[in-house]
Amino acid sequence: MTQPPTPTDSASSASQREAPGSPDAKQIEAIVQSAVQEISHIATLPEVTMKIIQLVEDPDSTANDLNKVISNDPALGARILKVVNSAFYGLPGQIGSINRAIVLLGLNAVKNIAIAASLAKLFRGGKIAENFDARDLWSHSIACASGTRLLAKHAGLGLPDEAFLAGLIHNIGIMVEIQARRPKFVEVMEKLAKEPETTLRQAEEEILGANHEQFGTALCKLWKFPQSFQYVTGFHHDPMDLNEKNRMLTGLVHIADVLAGKMELGFARGVETEEYDPALLLALNITQEHIDDVAKALPEALEETKALFSSV
């Protein structure tokens, strides 16, 4: 489903409108790269997870190659099997080996589960500011992930693990800010507390010089995530700015993000609207009835998934 970047998708974020060579764009890029390089020394994905990503992106890799890498980390293998054998997938019978999981789900699905299982550790940190707790950001991310996965079924997208992971990482740029620029992030939170009408992106741009979409896109590039995930992190507030060929996954994340915000699930201060764009719903063939169905199923799905991934 990943498409090559098109002219309308080339900016690192939908909110960055300057020409790539302009002074403002260069300054933003320098700010973003500095923070992202710093987070790589603070908190990153485990080395084995990075190896899994590289391996699966290599077209010459085999299921046996992936099995060997995961087998070298028994704890990760156990976490993956726990997810595979949960109601999350609902597979018939118990899957007793990573090799069997790879055969049933495919290399890419197992890679996505490994990433999701690893990400939970990055969201730990507790209360960082008076009105921000990292656990609330994790709750919102899990809610968006669960919502995206449920919406993907209605949209006929398939790929439940990809939809889930897309929702899970959409706000990963906030983690860059927390890890690499914590004092300024606290300032952002203080500003939001005093100014209810100010959006998270506006506060970030004023205090940090860039926003979480830009930080998130850069981190996804550093971690060699697929282009589709870079679109999710960079355009989840404005999916209609993407070329229609690249809009599906990001659009579903946007709808799930708005829904999670309306339901006040976790940290929702980053959600900028309570309205669903009719043009986006039409483009994705999602109806209000679909959204209502997801809203009904979301609380139970959220509790199951949160318990599963928060304890892996």
User: Residue 42's pLDDT is what?
Assistant: 58
At 152, give phi and psi (nearest 5°). Answer: -60, -35
User: Residue 143's pLDDT is what?
Assistant: 94
Of 128, 235, 233, the residue nearest 184 (C-alpha): 128
The DSSP output letter for 142 is H
Among 2-6, 231-235, 237-241, 274-278, the least confident range: 2-6
pLDDT tens per residue, range 66-75? 999 999 889 8
Residue 40 is assigned to a structural domain of this protein: yes
Structure tokens at 174: 């906030």
pLDDT tens per residue, range 8-20? 454 444 444 454 5
At 7, give phi and psi (nearest 5°). Answer: -55, -35
- Our count of domains for the chain comes to 1
User: Residue 7's pLDDT is what?
Assistant: 40
Could you list the residue range(s) of the whole structural domain that residue 191 is in?
18-310
Q: Is 61 exposed, middle or buried (0-12, 13-18, 19+ CB in 10 A)?
A: middle
Q: Under a CB-based contact definition with an 8 Å cutoff, are residues 154 and 284 in contact?
A: no
Residue 9 is assigned to a structural domain of this protein: no
Residue 12 is assigned to a structural domain of this protein: no
Residue 11 is assigned to a structural domain of this protein: no
CATH number for 92: 1.10.3210.10
Binned at pLDDT 50, 70 and 90, residue 127 comes out as confident
Of 46, 218, 223, the residue nearest 118 (C-alpha): 46
Residue 232 is assigned to a structural domain of this protein: yes
- pTM score, two decimals? 0.88
Beta strands in the chain (DSSP E): 127-129, 132-133
- Say yes or no to pLDDT of 130 above 90: no
User: Residue 260's pLDDT is what?
Assistant: 96
Residue 151 is assigned to a structural domain of this protein: yes
Q: What angle do CA 199, 204, 207 make, to 5 degrees?
A: 125
- Contacts with 8 (C-beta within 8 Å, 6 or more apart), sequence order: 241, 242, 243
pLDDT tens per residue, range 131-143? 899 889 999 999 9
Residue 219 is assigned to a structural domain of this protein: yes
The DSSP output letter for 286 is -
| Residue/partner pairs of 45-52 with CB below 8 Å, 24 or more apart | 45/115, 45/118, 45/119, 45/122, 45/223, 46/73, 46/76, 46/118, 48/72, 48/73, 48/76, 48/114, 49/76, 49/114, 49/115, 49/118, 50/223, 50/224, 52/110, 52/111, 52/114, 52/115
Among 58-72, 89-103, 216-230, 259-273, the least confident range: 89-103
CA 207 to chain centroid: 23
Residue 8 is assigned to a structural domain of this protein: no
Q: Under a CB-based contact definition with an 8 Å cutoff, are residues 157 and 177 in contact?
A: no
pLDDT tens per residue, range 148-201? 999 998 888 878 889 999 999 999 999 999 989 999 999 999 999 999 999 999
Determine the average pLDDT of the residues in 203-207: 97
3-state class of 170 per DSSP?
A: coil
pLDDT over 70, % of the chain: 89
